[in-house]
Chain A
Amino acid sequence: MTEQSLSRPETRKRRLPQINPVYVLVVALILAIIVMNPAFGEPTGYMNFLKRVAALAILSAGALYVIVSGGFDLSVGSIMTLTVIGSSMLASNDPNSTYWIIPLMLGIGLVIGLVNGLVVSYLKVPSLIATLGMMITLNGVAFMWSGGAPRGYLPDTFRFFGRYNITDVPLIGILPIAVICLVVFGATLWWGMHRTNFGRMLHAAGDNPQAARLAGVPVQRVRISAFVVSALTAVLAGIILGGRAGVSVNIGSGFELQAITAAVIGGAQLLGGRGSVPAAIAGALALEAIFTLLNLLGLAQPVRLVVQGLILIGAVAFATYQRKRAGR
């Protein structure tokens, strides 16, 4: 706490044109990929890449809300799974069902986020444990609902968001719907975090809850809202991923840690107070670009794990180093 309040003046300094290193990283990675595989530089190449990364990028931007508020949300992957399994169970191949299934899923997400937030705020369960419990529970619910194996297809109207491309677009050729979703939701989340009073209260509540409370910020409500935002974006990410990939029972597993990783690569500070939506999205792009690059280099899965681990530690260590240098 003390360290963070000491570094307070730095918030003002941030207005100086200091580029977040994640953007440099993304550009460098993309250039490296293009050098190795020129096809990537063509619209179909990078549009497919953006389409692939859309779900994770939206998810990281939502997860950032909870991180900035000072918590963790480990339940997002299971929410994605529940969304996909639940939608396939309800749809029963009826293309018209999409119109009520998506609002219903968002409703379920809202309830899950509320429960997470209430358990953390009022039962005082640390968010790590509360959302871990939620993750285990929801995975179980998804399995129970489907009996362990998917029992229905997702109709094409549902898969539209994750799978379809608008073709014959001037200049870029194809424009995947998922990329439009990424831009729209990304902008909304950016606005909410960086241009509203809620966003300011979120930063305050995560930076120093006591001080925020004294300053009149409704800390409990703000943090509950963060969990709700995170759960809702997880539903959206689930819809896009389910659209892209179809139904499977463990579709969301592992996404919770990837989302946190992406946010951290984007410079978000765990335990609250700092984070930027565009940087978290860039973090997701960087993460996926690293995987693509390693794949192009023909490096096997084990090497990918090692690189991911090193980057994770490196990004945080670098951020701490920068903060210290700037703060003192």
Chain B
Amino acid sequence: MNKTLLTLAVLGMLTGAASAQAPNFDDPAEFAKQRDQLTATFNGPADQVYLQYAGDSMADTAQYKKDGPWTVCFSNAGVNNPWRVVGYTNMTEEVKLHPEIGTFTHVDAEGSDDKQIADIDDLLAGGDCDVLIVSPNSTAALTPAVEKACAAGLPVIVFDRGVTTDCPVTFVHPVGGYGFGIQAAEHIIANVPAGGKVLMLRILPGVDVLETRASGARNMFTEAGLDILGEEFTDGDNAKTKSIVEDYLQRGGIDAVWMDAGATAVAAVEAFEDQGMDVPVVTGEDQQDYLQKWRDLGFKGIAPTYPTYQWRTAIIAAVNTLKGEPVPSPEWVLPQPAITQDVLDQYINEKMPPLHYAMCGCEDMPSYPEAWGGSK
């Protein structure tokens, strides 16, 4: 039995997508598709954004139908940044809403591919999982492990970053990195005259969902005739972000700061503030500290989002699968709204922690806001 399983797994691997494609972060087709999806109408209930989906292709999950209580297993890349912390809270609270889930097994790979592959092995060897949810640490590396889980007959749900196989039931994700880059870039282009100087601040190279944000924005800036002063990596570090902006300021003016993620946006804003300068256009993300700074200082901000509600959707997809109900597939594309000036006040909540991501789709949950570290 074990032997056959492993042979199956190896066979599956041999016949499966043999080559991890060279990553391409500048794909015009994908860029255009995401640009359209940003403004598309989504199916599903209007007041529950985490249930909405693009397109109408569904997977039949009758073969996975099972009586509860279920064991839901989750292999997590890590909870090593605030975005993932908020997302994981969404997830655990969503689990509580489904009494059919008897056991929720969470294993945390602490940001290592090697460890995540071992974690999935562990879950397959003794986890007694009815469904496996995977948030891959990186795309190509986790593909064999996901294929192995599929080969073991387990329904698999992937979300956030993807894998290069279509064996999972579905891949849950919002519109995507290009979309994020486009939203921030459009705002800058609309508010900075042609020839204006843009500083692009990025966290780190190599993560697909971040690379596409940068390439999407870069293309649009070039097209609009803006001058990209530089692309710098901040490692997500506030002090470093501040130093970088100060260095650029010492050498000349900045008309806009584009950021691929918002955690360090406030540090960039403070660099201007501390020099006694007016804050130009600085893009961010949906964390409270940035939204509040934007309101208080009144600069021209925008908060594209990479919504954390996808962590809820992953659980919902798993539950629907085990109930044998249809699930949007092969991809469950969620809406990805940006927070703009006119809706800013709606999203500000001073009772939430500074790095709470406002676009969490979690306000309707019974434990909100305490479970997210907020107060009523």
Contacts and interface: CB of A to CB of B under 8 A. Distances in A.
Contacts of B289: 153, 246
Nearest to B238: A245
Interface string B67-106: 0000000000001111011101000000000000000000
Contacts of B80: 148
Interface stretch (A37-45, A267-275, A316-324): A37-45
Contacts of A163: 270, 274
Interface stretch (A20-28, A66-74, A227-235, A248-256): A248-256
B361 interface: no
Interface of A: 37, 39-40, 44-45, 48, 52, 55, 147-153, 163, 165, 241, 244-251, 292, 295-296, 298, 301
A6 to B, nearest CB: 43
Interface of B: 79-82, 84-86, 88, 230, 233, 236-239, 241-244, 246-247, 250-251, 263-264, 266-267, 270, 274-275, 289, 353-356, 373
Given A153-B289, A246-B238, A148 B79 contact: yes
A246 B264 CA distance: 10
A165 B353 CA distance: 28
Contact of A152 (B81, B243, B353): B353
B82 A149 contact: yes
B354 A150 contact: yes
A37 B373 contact: no
Contacts of A241: 239
A263 B236 CA distance: 26
Contacts of A249: 81-82
Contacts, number: 78
B243 A52 contact: yes
Contacts of B270: 163, 246
B362 to A, nearest CB: 14
Contact of A295 (B86, B237, B247, B354): B247
B85 A147 contact: yes
Contacts of B82: 148-150, 249
The 3 closest A-B pairs by CB, nearest first: A149-B82, A245-B238, A148-B85
Choose among A55, A149, A163, A247 the residue with the greatest number of B CB atoms under 10 Å from its CB: A149
B373 A151 contact: yes
14 contacts: A39-B251, A48-B250, A148-B84, A152-B353, A165-B274, A244-B242, A245-B242, A246-B289, A248-B238, A248-B263, A249-B81, A251-B238, A292-B247, A296-B247
B86 A149 contact: yes
Choose among A48, A55, A163 the residue with the greatest number of B CB atoms under 10 Å from its CB: A48
Contacts of A152: 353-354
A152 B355 CA distance: 9
Choose among B230, B233, B353 the residue with the greatest number of A CB atoms under 10 Å from its CB: B353
A234 to B, nearest CB: 15
Contacts of B86: 149
A39 B353 contact: no
Contacts of B251: 37, 39, 296
B237 A149 contact: no
Contacts of A147: 85, 373
Contacts of B81: 149, 249
Contacts of B236: 248, 250
Given A241-B239, A248-B237, A251-B239, A45 B85 contact: no
B276 to A, nearest CB: 9
A250 B237 contact: yes
Given A246-B266, A246-B270, A301-B233, A149 B238 contact: no
A305 to B, nearest CB: 12
